[in-house]
């Protein structure tokens, strides 16, 4: 078994905890408890309640995302200094995969109870741990999304957009203006657990913006540098596929939009467009990081909120990955056989499927059950309901 100083050195070599200071690592090391697994022993099984993470000290863990005993769907292996189970440590839920030792394995365990104790007694250390978890979650979403893209059949060539296409329609959208009126932040679902002082700090750190009907909160492929909280109104999440704009979801008052940009410097995966008048708070990544450096209670709470959002997107990604692994590779001809109504449209159908998954696994809180609600967002690109149902038929 490792000593406290050895544990600190092990934590330093993990992705999750590598950014912590030497003092933070020394303070965190005693919080972990060691555990040794025999060959073939499970660290945990899919479906079991989860409330801890584990750091691999030595040995190899095998990850299995199978949803049925008859099909083994390996999601990879974990070795020394890898971290597993981090989602349940912050947002307890049934495990989405089984993890088993191959040979003897030693791990270090951090439980939800101990994480809660850090939140109360060592806010700065808690914020550093959450920061590490958020970086790991965003990387895992990217990795899983990439695996999903490989498992989906790819389009043979891109579909060109016609002249005067819908891209120009989005470019013509008006810029937002500052909103001067009052905002009832306490009534918003995403912020109901925040104290009045925290809400005041948020309003002071963020900009209140008014968006006219059709104005863009963010545009697909632009760099993401801020998060929006919708205070009044609704917006559509839109992605361009084959020269048409498909609305994948409608998000309402109280929703967080583009929150992963606070944790990771990535391009926007979709366009978000106001449907009618809309008021939103925009919190920039620079302001958020400044608040975190000051150990602001608001920033710590918001960091936890955004990280949990990412965790839930990762759970969705894991479920989709397991489904695709068990289903096997689908070729264009196989899909055409399943959907004879759209035999000539497989390329566009493939683009639609990939666009949906990339959107759902990004930051827009779209779920598989909402796939049937996808609609064309521009009249001159409208397709019939019969054609749409044919495209989405399984």
Residues 262 and 334 in one domain: yes
Last residue of a domain, one of 118, 135, 156: 118
Looking at the fold, whether 104 and 239 belong to one and the same domain comes out as: no
Provide mean pLDDT across the span 26-49: 94
Dihedral of CA atoms 115, 120, 122, 127 in degrees, nearest 10, equals 60
The verdict on 98 and 198 lying in the same domain is: no
- Domain boundary residue, one of 72, 100, 118: 118
Task: Give yes or no: residues 222 and 105 share one domain.
Answer: no
Does the structure show a pLDDT above 50 at 77? Answer: yes
Q: Tell me the mean pLDDT in the region 36-40.
A: 97
| Helix, strand, coil percentages for the chain (3-state, nearest 5) | 45, 25, 30
Residue 22 banded pLDDT, cuts 50, 70, 90:
very high
- 80 with 126, same domain? no
Beta strands in the chain (DSSP E): 33-37, 42-44, 49-50, 52-64, 74-78, 83-84, 93-94, 98-111, 177-178, 207-211, 216-218, 226-241, 244-251, 256-257, 271-284, 375-376
Window from 68-77, 162-171, 201-210, 375-384 with minimum mean pLDDT: 375-384
- Six-digit token pair at 265? 């410097």
Are 210 and 300 members of one domain? yes
Across the chain, what does the average pLDDT equal? 78
Locus of tokens 């600190």 = 8
CA–CA separation, 389 and 341 (whole Å): 10
CATH code for position 70: 2.60.120.10
**Span of 38-42, 136-140, 245-249 with lowest mean pLDDT:** 245-249
Domain boundary among 72, 98, 118: 118
Instruction: Determine the pLDDT at residue 328.
Output: 60
| pLDDT > 90 fraction of the chain, expressed in percent and rounded | 35
Give me the helices (H) in 166-253, please. 166-171, 196-205
How far, in Å, are 46, 149, 313 from residue 83 at the CA level?
17, 24, 18
Angle at alpha carbon of residue 143, lines to 12 and 374, rounded to 5°:
140
Give CA angle at 131 (93, 239), nearest 5°.
75
Say yes or no: 253 and 336 in one domain. Answer: yes
Handedness of CA 51, 57, 59, 65 (dihedral sign): positive
Assess whether 342 and 273 both reside in one domain. Answer: yes
Whether residue 327 has pLDDT greater than 90: no
Share of the chain above pLDDT 70, in %: 71
Neighbour-count burial of 249, counting CB atoms closer than 10 A to its CB (0-12 exposed, 13-18 middle, 19+ buried):
buried
* Per-residue pLDDT band at 386 (split at 50, 70, 90): very low
- Cα within 13 Å of Cα(103), Cβ side: 7
Number of domains in the chain: 2
Mean pLDDT computed over 123-149: 84
Judge whether residue 346 has pLDDT over 80.
no
Residue 368 has pLDDT above 60, yes or no: no
* Pairwise pLDDT comparison (260 vs 49), residue with the higher score: 49
Residue 168 has pLDDT above 90, yes or no: no
**What pLDDT, on a 0 to 100 scale, did the predictor assign at position 180?**
92
What pLDDT is recorded for position 66? Answer: 61
**Residue 269 three-state SS:** coil
Say whether both 98 and 172 belong to one domain: no
Range of the domain at 65: 4-118
pLDDT of the residue at 316: 75
Identify which has the larger pLDDT, 28 or 291.
Answer: 28
pLDDT attached to residue 31: 94
Return the bridge partners of 273, or none: 216, 236
Mode of pairing for the β-strands spanning 216-218 and 375-376: unpaired
Give the mean pLDDT of 60-85. 76
What does the radius of gyration of the chain's CA atoms come to, in whole angstroms? 23
Residues 106 and 129 in one domain: no
């Amino acid at each position: 078994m490792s000593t406290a100083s050895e544990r600190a050195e092990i934590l330093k070599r993990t992705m999750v905890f590598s950014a912590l200071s030497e003092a933070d690592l020394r303070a965190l090391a005693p919080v972990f408890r060691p555990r040794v697994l025999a060959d073939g022993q499970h660290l945990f099984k899919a479906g079991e309640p989860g409330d801890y993470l584990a750091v691999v000290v030595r040995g190899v863990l095998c990850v299995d995302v199978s949803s049925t005993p008859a099909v083994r769907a390996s999601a990879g292996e974990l070795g020394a200094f890898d971290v597993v189970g981090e989602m349940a440590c912050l947002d307890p839920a049934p495990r989405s995969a089984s993890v088993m030792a191959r040979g003897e394995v030693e791990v270090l365990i951090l439980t939800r109870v101990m994480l809660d104790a850090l939140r109360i007694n060592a806010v700065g250390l808690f914020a550093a741990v959450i920061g590490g978890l958020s970086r790991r979650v965003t990387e895992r979403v990217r990795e899983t999304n990439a695996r999903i893209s490989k498992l989906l059949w790819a389009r043979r060539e891109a579909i060109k957009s016609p002249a005067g296409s819908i891209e120009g329609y989005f470019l013509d959208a008006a810029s937002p203006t500052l909103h001067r009126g009052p905002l009832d932040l306490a009534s918003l679902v995403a912020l109901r657990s925040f104290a009045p002082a925290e809400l005041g700090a948020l309003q002071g750190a963020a900009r209140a913006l008014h968006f006219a009907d059709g104005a863009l909160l963010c545009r697909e492929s632009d760099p993401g540098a801020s998060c929006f909280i919708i205070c009044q109104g609704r917006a559509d999440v839109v992605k361009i596929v084959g020269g048409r704009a498909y609305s994948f979801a409608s998000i309402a008052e109280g929703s967080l939009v583009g929150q992963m940009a606070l944790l990771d410097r990535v391009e926007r995966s979709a366009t978000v467009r106001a449907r009618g008048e809309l008021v939103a708070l925009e919190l920039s990544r620079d302001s958020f990081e400044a608040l975190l450096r000051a150990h602001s209670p608001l920033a710590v709470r918001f960091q936890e909120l955004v990280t949990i959002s990412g965790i839930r997107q990762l759970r969705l990604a894991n479920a989709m990955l397991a489904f695709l692994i068990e289903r096997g590779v689908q070729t264009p001809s196989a899909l055409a056989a399943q959907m004879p109504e759209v035999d000539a449209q497989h390329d566009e159908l493939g683009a639609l499927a990939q666009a949906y998954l990339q959107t759902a696994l990004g930051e827009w809180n779209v779920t598989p059950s909402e796939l049937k609600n996808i609609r064309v967002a521009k009249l001159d690109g409208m397709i019939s309901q019969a054609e749409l149902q044919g495209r989405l038929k399984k």
